[in-house]
Structure 1
Amino acid sequence: MVEWESLERDQQIKLREEFGYYLDSLPPTCSLDMKIARFKEWLRERGVTIELEVD
């Protein structure tokens, strides 16, 4: 697994863009917890780990 923080900025932007397209296929949610969970799982499936927490 690759850590999100170790990715180049351009790689992070590309992944965010791809995730945005993926989100278009899912039911919308206002839950920040759900949004974070979806992003973390989506990244995990691509071999990337990220530490995000809701305060």
Structure 2
Amino acid sequence: MKIVVLTNFIVVSTGRNVLQHMQENLTSNQISFQTGNRRLQKLVDSMNE
């Protein structure tokens, strides 16, 4: 009985870690996407001048 509880706990904590990593990756992707957008905008602006 104790073993089952322990494995469930391990699975749950691993799932949380994975979710956290995914969230961090999403955030960094969003940041790089925003900087990419700004660079594109600057490029477009310089082409329009």
**Structure-2-length-normalised TM-score:** 0.38
Say which one has the larger Rg: 2
* Greater percentage in helix: 2
RCO greater where, 1 or 2, for CA within 8 Å and sep 6 or more?
1
What is the TM-score normalised by the length of structure 1?
Answer: 0.34
Q: Going by fraction, where is strand more abundant, 1 or 2?
A: 1
